[in-house]
Amino acid sequence: MNAAGTMRIVRTVNELQAIVNPKQRNGRTVGFVPTMGFLHEGHLTLVEHARRDHDIVVMSIFVNPAQFGPGEDYEAYPRNEQRDADLASAAGVDYLFIPSVEEMYPNKSTIRILPGEQATRLCGASRPGHFDGVLKVLLKLFNIIDPDESYFGMKDAQQLAIIETFVRDFNLRTVISRVPTVRETDGLAKSSRNVRLTEQERSEASAIYKALSLGKKSYYDGVPLQEVEKIIRTAIEKDTSGTIDYVTALAYPSLDENFSEAEEVIIAAAVKFTSTRLIDNIIMSTIKDEKND
C-alpha cells in the first residue's frame, strides 16, 4: 500500500504492464479503479475499498473518446490532472495510469464490441455507441493491468450491469465489485459532471434523489411500478427546470422490462440541464406478489 507521497504516475502501456506483470507479483494482489478523472469522494471511496482488499492499488484516469458521441461533452468534460494526482496520492493509490489518447488508441481500429441487449435501454438508448466505447476501453485496461478485482460505483448501474455480463460471458479473470453511490448531504449523487451545473440547477438537482426515494417508498407501500415511474417523473418535473431523458423501472441487473422473476429492480432517471445531464438510480429488492404489475 502506498505510503502517502510514494504514488507513481505512469503514462505508457508498456511501463504499466512491466510494473504490474502478473508473473512478478509474488503473491501480491491488485485492486483496480478505472475513472475518467476529476476525482470526487465517489472515486476515493472506490480506492478505499481497493486499499482495504488488495496489496497494490492501480487507478486509471482516461477521458475515453470512444464512449462520447457526437454532440456530447467530450471536450467540455472536466479535467484537472494535478488536483487528481494529489487526491489519488493522498487516498493511497500506488500507480496512477494517465495515458494519452494516442497511447490508448495508436491504431485506427475497426474492431468493436457491441454490448447487446442490456444497452438497448436507459443511457444506451439515449447514447448509442456509448457502452461500446466503455467495453472497448475496459477490455484494454483489464488486459493491460490484469487486476484481481475492479471497483465500480452503483451510480452508473447500467454500466455496472453490462460490465458484469461482459466479465462473466468472456471469462475475464477480474472480480467486479459494486460500491454504493456516494452522495452529497442533500442526496445528490456525487459526479464529475455536477461541476457543470449552474448554482440554481445545483440546488434543484437534489430533487432527483428525493423523487427516486419517494418512488421507492411508494413501491413498498404497494404502488405498482408503472405508477411509481409516474410519481418520480412528476416530482422531477415539479421541482427542477431540467428536461427528463428517462424515468424507468427495470429488473436488475438484467435490465429486462419483465420483472416477474427478478430479485431486484432498478428505478433510474436521467435529467438534462443546460450544460450537462445527470443520472441516478435506486436498486430495490422486489416485492413478489400481484402488485408487481
Binding residues for (R)-pantoate: 67, 159
> Minimal distance in Å, beta carbon 113 to its own copies?
5
For the beta carbon of residue 15, count every other beta carbon within 10 angstroms.
14
Contacts of 277 (CB under 8 A, 6+ apart): 193, 245, 270, 271
Instruction: List the one residue from 52, 83, 173, 217 that touches its own copies (CB under 8 A).
Output: 173
Q: Which of residues 92-121 bind its own copies (CB under 8 A)?
A: 107, 109-118
Q: Does 165 bind its own copies (CB under 8 A)?
A: yes
Binding residue positions for ATP: 36-43, 153-156, 182, 190-193
Residue at grid coordinates 423523487: 211
Return the bridge partners of 282, or none.
267
CA neighbor of 30 nearest in space, from 43, 40, 21: 21
- How far is the C-alpha of 160 from the C-alpha of 151, rounded, in Å? 9
**Choices 158-166, 183-191, 195-203, 260-268 (CB under 8 A): range interacting with its own copies:** 158-166
Q: How many whole angstroms separate alpha carbon 268 and alpha carbon 149? A: 26
Which lies closer to its own copies via its Cβ, residue 107 or residue 185?
A: 107
Residues 36-75 touching its own copies, rule: CB under 8 A, are: none
Known active-site residue 43 = yes
Instruction: Give the integer Cα–Cα distance in Å for 194 and 164.
Output: 26
Q: How far is the CB of 172 from its own copies (least distance, A)?
A: 5
Letter for the amino acid at 256? D
Binding mask 127-156 for its own copies (x = CB under 8 A): --------xx--xx--xx-x----------
Which residues does the annotation place in the binding site for beta-alanine? 67
Which among 39-47, 163-171, 192-200, 224-232 is the span making contact with its own copies, rule CB under 8 A?
Answer: 163-171
Please report whether residue 85 would count as binding its own copies according to CB under 8 A. no
Nearest to 38 by CA among 2, 88, 75: 88
Report d(CA 220, CA 103) in Å as an integer.
49
| Contacts of its own copies in 2-31 (CB under 8 A) | 13, 17, 22-23, 25, 27
Cα(130)–Cα(119) distance, integer angstroms: 9
Q: Give the interface with its own copies as residue ranges (CB under 8 A).
A: 13, 17, 22-23, 25, 27, 107, 109-118, 135-136, 139-140, 143-144, 146, 162, 165-166, 168-173
Residues assigned a catalytic role: 43
